Structure 1
Amino acid sequence: MPNLTKLSLNCNKIEVIEHIDMLTALKELDLSFNYIERIENIEKLINLEVLSLFNNQITQIQNLDTLEKLVILSLGNNKIGSTKGIERFRFLKDLRVLNLQGNPISRSARFQMDLYVAAVLPDVKYYEYKTVTEEMRHKGREKYYRELREIEANEEKEILARAAKAKEEYDEKRLASSFVEYLNEHQLYESLWKGDEDGYALLRIGQPATDLAEEYDNDMYDVTQEIYKYGLERFEERELEINEFKENLEEGQLLIQQMGQEVIEEFLRHKELVFERATAVLKALELRTLHGEDEESPESLELVDQFDKITMQFDDTINDVWQQLMSQELHLHESIEESTVNFQRRIQEMMAKFVEQVQTYFGQLRDIAIHFSENMSEVSTHYINTKLALQDFEDVPPELLHCMEDREAILNLIAGMKDAHIQRIDEREDRLMVRSRDFIENMIDELNNAELERNRAKILEINSFLELMSESLASLHTEIREAIMNDEA
């Protein structure tokens, strides 16, 4: 039941909180008077406003940090013997009512829990269902000065850590959505050498090779920086397009919703008048029957005929309302489908331009890799010739010793290095291409599926509502009969 908002499981024999973490729409949860020992598996219930764990076996306050919408929290009559965890409620900015009465910590003669809560939780207005006064807060801050000072210091550190983590997560998501993650530094260049020990050994043949490698790294970095910056620019452009589309979608849905509401309100006003007439007719008919009047008498038949006409007219009205609401919904559904197709076309065009430019950059990266391998061939050949001429092989890297006897081997090694590097560049390019294509497909699939579910739910809602209205008139006769019988009794 993903739409459930209130769940009461109090007065059972529940020992473990489990199997409710998917009920993310819950606003009220009552688990009081059970045998629960640990607060757990409710971290995902982020819409909770009221939580009661009163009269359980809980020993520790924990796992409540994510419930940022919590307003009322009852942990009374448990086995909590420490204040540890109470300070975490400072992050629950909507928390106004807290109950910890009946716990060992609140019964301690040496510890005044009400003053501690008043000092530590400035947003809490009621503790144990009594108002927290400014005088209590003042006394609490004086009495628990050291504890409050330590809590505030730790809180400041955590706030900074949370902010840093949030920024890191945002940047990571932003980069991933831009398809240019791990291209903002020297990551691509470093990845070229992974698994290529022989090729990497070439960098140890002397200063000329080191200089070439540094130039290679810088050239690669310059191009990946272009890809990185371009990717972020196009990401911002796409985000604007996506947000504008979603805003227009919401505006269209809201407009149709308002139009539908007007139709329903007008219908409900009409329904009241119809039900008043129907009630008067049915009461007259039931009273005649109750007083022994003949059901086939002209007066009774006239009343039955009047009710039948009222019913037929009401059914016609329901049908008209159904036609109006369905017409509005059909118009909205077709408009959303058309808008989604146009949106998909625009996004695909934007992505095609992005991919085309990025492919140009990756072509430059391949040219840089080829240029590097050509220069390394010259440097390596000169290095080998020098070593052979001097017959000096002491500082030759072990991976290159076999090249001293076979000059073609060094060229093959460089060719292998070039192929490996270009393959890595191709793989990174392919990954970007695939992810950019999947991004569009997944987003459009999500939009279409969401609209399909919305449309089905709306049609079901319209049909259910009007069926209920029709049934309410049909059941009116029975309700009036029972009411009259009760009055007579």
Structure 2
Amino acid sequence: MLTNITRLVLSNNSLTDTRGLERLSKLTWLDLSFNQISRISSLKSLRNLEVLALHNNLLRRLERGALQPLSHLQVLTLANNKIHDIDDVRTLRQVKCLASLNLANNPLCDHRYPDYVLAHLPDLAYLDHRRLTPQDHAHAAQQYKSVVAVVEAQEEKAQQQEEQERLTRASQEEHRRAGVLALNDGSLFSRMFRGDKDMGVLLQLPGAHTLMTKYRDQFNAVCLRVFNAGLDHEVQRQTELELLQEALDVAKNDADTYARGVVRRVEGEVETVVAAGQELRAAEEASLGDDQEAHEARVAKAVALREQFDALLDDASQDLLTAEVTLADQVKDVVDRAREELGTLVGNFLEAAAMELQEGRRLAYTFYCRLRELTAKMVDDGAGGSEGMDEERTARVFEGSDTLTSALAGIHDRHLALIDSREADLRQHLQQWLTHTLHEISKAEWARHRSRVEEITTLTARQRQLLYDALPTTHE
């Protein structure tokens, strides 16, 4: 629970792993030496770590990626462990700020160890507590030039692959937000025929493959049009949200400017009244009660000041609350207009997408009709056992007109069901987005409104108390 710790020493214990440290994200110094740790884990979140001591443990490997997120790590001590594979040093190339490394007394420390480490870690300044010179690095780089070149090529390839995966994830997230995920890769069409054994038989009919190819190309073109329209629609939605936020910011900035003016005016008047009250209080305390008439005059003036000040604060509080209520009404109007405009935008897109998907249903029906014509021709020609077709499966599909009709209808129904399901998913996604987005904006603005009302109440009470503390007591 001590999440603000920056320096932690856990040396000379019986720790076997590093679990439990992942929440200490502010650590800059961590000493885990003289324990029984055999594996580095749970340290990836310690991104502020500068010094890590793991000497005198039971580490056997430096696992790839275990220390990569530690972008500020400068000092790493791994001496007196059981690390045996010198190639594990390559994983430390991911620790970009590493300046000091201690690997002494590990099994990997053979005659080639120092040069091998320096060649792979060219920015290292200290190795096993020894200061490194430019000559040390130059000699090591020359000795292992070809080996390091291979490693650099592998790293570049891995980096390119990682970047490609990142772009793919970002693209998929964009498609998910737009509600058109996987509408550009032909996967919806592929799902229509996945596991359909009857279709496997029917596709062997003369002309069936050409028919399906045409169906696939036309259907995928429909999906692609929905996909591209969805991306354009996502841009339009984000633009509308930006306009909404700009309108909210303008209204809030205007209200804040007005409120700051009221507060400055009140604070100035408060300062004047408080000063007068303090003078009265000082005079009252200095009088020692020897002048009843002067005392009564001061009390009367104090009462007048209090009444004047209460009226001042009441007016200021009313001004601020009125301005805040006006702002809340403006915010509500802006959100309501955005709800209407975004609702129209979403509705128009869903209508256009529905028309495109209706074209997909028409293509499915056309495919069904053409396929039925091909099968009818085959039945009429008595060619149920055409060469190259699985006779048992063919016989089952073509054993009677009812069976054949049922198979074709089943194919058609499955296609329509998948199209219907995809359209329903798209509609549900966008309607949920619209509801959730506007709800979150309204919730945030309502929380801001309540907070501002509390601030106004607190400000009024604080200013009132300043005067009451400055005035002499009036109950006498």
TM-score bracket for this pair, using the shorter chain length? 0.7 to 0.9
3-state SS of paired residue (1:395)? coil
Is residue 30 of structure 1 aligned with residue 5 of structure 2?
yes
3-state SS of paired residue (2:217)? helix
> What's the counterpart of residue 249 of structure 1?
248
* Cα shift readout 1:276-317 (whole Å, capped 9, x = no counterpart): 2222222232333xxxx2277223333333333333322222
The code of the aligned residue for 1:254 comes to: N
> What's the counterpart of residue 456 of structure 2?
462
Deviation at 1:420, TM superposition (A): 1.2
* Cα shift readout 1:177-214 (whole Å, capped 9, x = no counterpart): 22221111211111112353323432234x41111111
Is residue 312 of structure 1 aligned with residue 307 of structure 2?
yes
Instruction: Give the aligned CA root-mean-square deviation in angstroms.
Output: 4.3
What does 1:269-280 correspond to in 2, within 5 Å? 269-280=268-279
Structure 1: give runs of 5+ residues left out of the alignment.
Answer: 1-6, 10-19, 21-28, 46-50, 68-72, 123-135, 479-489
Report the Cα distance in structure 2 between the residues aligned to 1:466 and 1:121, rounded to whole angstroms: 61
> What's the counterpart of residue 322 of structure 2?
327
> What's the counterpart of residue 364 of structure 2?
369
- Once the two structures are overlaid, the 10-residue window that deviates more, 151-160 or 420-429, is 151-160
Contact 1:119 / 1:137 at 8 angstroms: preserved in 2? Answer: no
Q: Decide whether aligned partners of structure 1 residues 78 and 201 sit closer, same or farther in structure 2, where only a CA change above 3 A counts.
A: same
Report the Cα distance in structure 1 between the residues aligned to 2:207 and 2:315, rounded to whole angstroms: 87
Contact 1:285 / 1:300 at 8 angstroms: preserved in 2? Answer: yes
Q: Decide whether aligned partners of structure 1 residues 166 and 250 sit closer, same or farther in structure 2, where only a CA change above 3 A counts.
A: farther
Report the Cα distance in structure 1 between the residues aligned to 2:446 and 2:342, rounded to whole angstroms: 21
* Cα shift readout 1:133-186 (whole Å, capped 9, x = no counterpart): xxx998998799799x89988886676455434432332222122222111121
Report the Cα distance in structure 2 between the residues aligned to 1:439 and 1:219, rounded to whole angstroms: 30
> What's the counterpart of residue 175 of structure 2?
175
The code of the aligned residue for 1:277 comes to: A
Contact 1:30 / 1:52 at 8 angstroms: preserved in 2? Answer: yes
What does 1:376-391 correspond to in 2, within 5 Å? 376-388=371-383
* Cα shift readout 1:295-346 (whole Å, capped 9, x = no counterpart): 7722333333333333332222222221221122111110010011111111
The code of the aligned residue for 1:461 comes to: E
The code of the aligned residue for 2:178 comes to: S
> What's the counterpart of residue 426 of structure 2?
432
Deviation at 1:371, TM superposition (A): 0.6
Contact 1:175 / 1:232 at 8 angstroms: preserved in 2? Answer: yes
What does 1:255-294 correspond to in 2, within 5 Å? 255-288=254-287, 293-294=288-289
Deviation at 1:61, TM superposition (A): 9.1
Partner of residue 447 from structure 2, selected from 449, 453, 457: 453
Q: Decide whether aligned partners of structure 1 residues 364 and 33 sit closer, same or farther in structure 2, where only a CA change above 3 A counts.
A: closer
Deviation at 1:392, TM superposition (A): 5.8
- Once the two structures are overlaid, the 10-residue window that deviates more, 270-279 or 234-243, is 270-279
3-state SS of paired residue (2:203)? helix
Identity of aligned residues (%): 17
Report the Cα distance in structure 1 between the residues aligned to 2:231 and 2:103, rounded to whole angstroms: 61
Q: Decide whether aligned partners of structure 1 residues 83 and 100 sit closer, same or farther in structure 2, where only a CA change above 3 A counts.
A: farther
The code of the aligned residue for 2:431 comes to: R
Q: Decide whether aligned partners of structure 1 residues 451 and 273 sit closer, same or farther in structure 2, where only a CA change above 3 A counts.
A: same
What does 1:7-406 correspond to in 2, within 5 Å? 9=2, 29-30=4-5, 32=7, 40-42=21-23, 51-52=26-27, 54=29, 57=32, 63=43, 73=48, 79=54, 88=68, 160=160, 163-205=163-205, 207-288=206-287, 293-294=288-289, 297-388=292-383, 395-396=389-390, 398-406=392-400
Deviation at 1:364, TM superposition (A): 0.7
- Once the two structures are overlaid, the 10-residue window that deviates more, 186-195 or 312-321, is 312-321
Q: Decide whether aligned partners of structure 1 residues 402 and 86 sit closer, same or farther in structure 2, where only a CA change above 3 A counts.
A: closer
Contact 2:43 / 2:66 at 8 angstroms: preserved in 1? Answer: no
Partner of residue 421 from structure 1, selected from 405, 415, 419: 415
